A = this chain, B = another copy of it.
Amino acid sequence: MRGAVMYAPGDVRVEEREDARLVEPTDAVLRLSAACVCGSDLWPYRGIEPVGGATPMGHEYVGVVEQVGGAVKGISPGQFVVGSFFASDNTCEICRSGYQPSCPYSVIMGSIGTQAELVRVPHADGTLVPTPAMPPADMIPGLLAASDVLGTGWFGAVAAEVGPGKAVAVVGDGAVGLLAVLAAKQLGAERIIAMSRHEPRQRLAREFGASDIVTERGNEGVTRVHELTGGFGAHSVVEAVGTQESMMQAIRSARPGGHVGYVGVAHDVSLPGVELFFSHVHLHGGPAPVRRFLPELIDRIWKREIDPGKVFDLELPLDQAAEAYRAMDERRAIKALLTP
């Protein structure tokens, strides 16, 4: 099968990889309908995370089940399914409490690589959620978004306790940040402040439900959020970047007693205890338990209540994965979809 492999920062190649096959009896093998490049794939691409030799890439996926292992009960060949970037059994105490990425048996799909024609999915029963029927082609980008960026933005909004009557700020205008705006709108937020200085992203933020755009960053951005929220700060802030600056911007944008939901994968972040103590904020986040939200998200997409697929502003054949990475790295694209 063909699949994307990163050899070094800036060096992504699509090449022949060994065909995905069943390994455990709880596995399934999917033929991917679409794959994509994630903002988090850019960390190693930019050399900020190490690349440990030739690494299969990708962790977002939707597709049709080709084969299932002997122990798989709820998933059958021919079904169209959506998975999360963590495979998990979905039966243990941690999964049942809604924290599937922390399942003791979880497998991170990035270690398998879904920017490919086929993929092996561990814990198929726990991980995969079938759609009601084969989806129309125009719905596939939305379902693919549910597999990570929508689920992650949604978790950010839930972790930030977004709800009716609340003022929400979103730090980060990548696909996750934009979909956190969409989530905040769906969850009933009264005011949604998107922090972005890129015109096409501002436009999409408004389309997803942002009521205000703040272009300032750092402490100037914080000041603007306070000005827009009666001087107190936002009730809920979603952090969708993962840097020291963005985390502090998020914490400082929240009012005392407010909630920060942080979903940007933390890089060299160190939170000052004294400031955090006196901020009185709630902090929650981490790798999004997308599986918790998948049934609801698929339902909303299926009913066309939301169209998170709009974050894909570039579509390329899998063979051009290198260009997809380049376009996202250079911020020419918000998110690139790859067709195998």
Contact = CB atoms under 8 A, between A and B. Distances in A.
Interface in A297-322: none
Contacts of A281: 284
Given A94-B256, A230-B93, A256-B94, A102 B280 contact: yes
A229 to B, nearest CB: 10
A273 B277 contact: no
Contact of A270 (B271, B278, B282): B271
Contacts of A273: 242, 244, 247, 266-271
A101 B282 CA distance: 15
B286 A284 contact: no
Q: With a 10 A CB-CB cut-off, give which of A267, A280, A281, A282 has the most chain B CB atoms.
A: A280
A244 B280 CA distance: 18
Number of copies: 2
Interface string A85-104: 00000000110011101101
Nearest to A285: B277
Nearest to A287: B278
A136 interface: no
A255 interface: yes
Contact of A93 (B232, B285, B286): B232
A248 B283 CA distance: 15
A52 B266 CA distance: 38
Contact of A102 (B93, B256, B269, B286): B256
A137 interface: no
A53 interface: no
B282 A287 contact: no
A88 to B, nearest CB: 11
A227 B279 CA distance: 33
A200 interface: no
A267 to B, nearest CB: 8
Contacts of A93: 230, 232
A71 interface: no
B266 A271 contact: no
B276 A97 contact: no
Contact of A276 (B101, B271, B272, B279): B271
Contacts of A256: 94, 97, 99, 102
A50 interface: no
Contact of A279 (B267, B270, B280, B286): B286
15 contacts: A94-B256, A98-B257, A99-B280, A102-B280, A247-B273, A266-B273, A266-B277, A270-B271, A270-B272, A271-B276, A276-B286, A278-B287, A280-B287, A282-B284, A283-B284
Interface of A: 93-94, 97-99, 101-102, 104, 230-232, 242, 244, 247, 255-257, 262, 265-274, 276-287
Given A262-B277, A269-B272, 6 more contacts: A93-B230, A98-B257, A242-B277, A266-B273, A271-B276, A282-B282
